[in-house]
Homo-oligomer: A and B are copies of this chain.
Amino acid sequence: MKVPQIVRIAHAVLYVTNLERARRFYVDLLGLNILHERENALYLRGTEDREWTLKLELAPEPGVKHLAYRVADAAELEGLVELAQELGLPYRWESEQDRPRLLRLQDPFGVPVAFYAESQKYPWLLQRYDLHRGPGIQRIDHINVMTPQVEAMTRWYMERLGFRLSEYTEDDEGRIWAAWIHRKGNVHDLALTNGTGPRLHHLAYWMPDAMSIIRACDILAGAMETEAIERGPGRHGVSNAFFLYLRDPDGHRIELYTSDYSTIDPDFEPIRWHLNDPRRQTLWGARTPKSWFLEGSLLEAFEGGFVPTTESELKGLPQHVI
């Protein structure tokens, strides 16, 4: 069976209940750049992104419309249709601004994913430093999905979609609590975290350096928006990245992320972490707030409404929690 050639995570479409409030958070404070603006939607990107990478769409309830991957070319989309047909996954063709052919399907774990090969490109802003605002968010890096089926879902994305494993978390009984898998050659395009799901855990943007993440904290504090800071800043043990987790006004979780490492060697050996290693979550040993393990964004079901969630059989939180 041929595995479709996925290039990288490419965009997310988030439902937000108040576009002005969302604009203040994402544009005025975080400095994401508006590529398109519609009455009911904002299309945003980082300074390196040549396409929009986050669409905020006005909706009655917060949620996730879909998570999209870029594939190598149009032929790969046909391969994905065949895969959907083979496995009986619901799929249809949709379109979004700049992306006329978007193959949307629901993966076997309930996640609404979309794939596209072609998108309108725009001049980047990377070297227009005079236009950078806020902490200077650079490019989309990855998404993280909470699921009660971490192990099965990891296996499926690896076998069926060609993802490669970079790191994983295991307990004493060999059960997998989290996995980081990638297509693009750094630590992940997609992370899978144990918990009630499927839900979106977070969407992450790459930052120019650790100081730009410190600056994000300062900017939020200056604007009296410290409630938005859920966790960090800190350095992950997993991925070695410097990170900060924020919650947007609708509760969607956004990670600012930088300085992980290369995983392109074909014999790269995945890194195993024990569930209760205090340096796994934060290399410096800081505890993780419970909300980080418990809360997430609902995913849109293929026929509308939200995908129902299921609790995980892997109960309990890691020990290093507050």
**Interface residues, chain A, CB within 8 Å of chain B?**
7-8, 28-29, 48, 70, 72-73, 118, 121, 126-132, 139, 184-185, 208-211, 214-215, 217-224, 226-227, 229, 233-235, 237, 240, 242, 259, 261-262, 264-267, 269, 278-279, 283-286, 322
Contacts and interface: CB of A to CB of B under 8 A. Distances in A.
Contacts of A283: 127, 217-218, 221, 226
A78 to B, nearest CB: 16
Contacts of A208: 259
A221 B266 contact: no
Given A209-B259, A211-B210, A235-B217, A222 B266 contact: no
Given A217-B284, A226-B279, 17 more contacts: A7-B264, A8-B262, A28-B130, A127-B221, A127-B240, A129-B215, A129-B221, A130-B220, A132-B222, A184-B264, A209-B209, A209-B210, A209-B259, A214-B242, A221-B279, A221-B284, A226-B278
A233 B235 contact: no
Copies in the complex: 4
A126 B227 contact: no
Contacts of A7: 264-266
Nearest to A322: B322
A72 to B, nearest CB: 5
A208 to B, nearest CB: 6
A222 B284 CA distance: 9
A259 B215 CA distance: 14
A209 B279 CA distance: 22
A185 B139 CA distance: 15
A121 B271 CA distance: 14
B210 A235 contact: no
B285 A227 contact: yes
Contacts of A224: 279
A96 to B, nearest CB: 17
Contacts of A233: 233
A267 B237 CA distance: 34
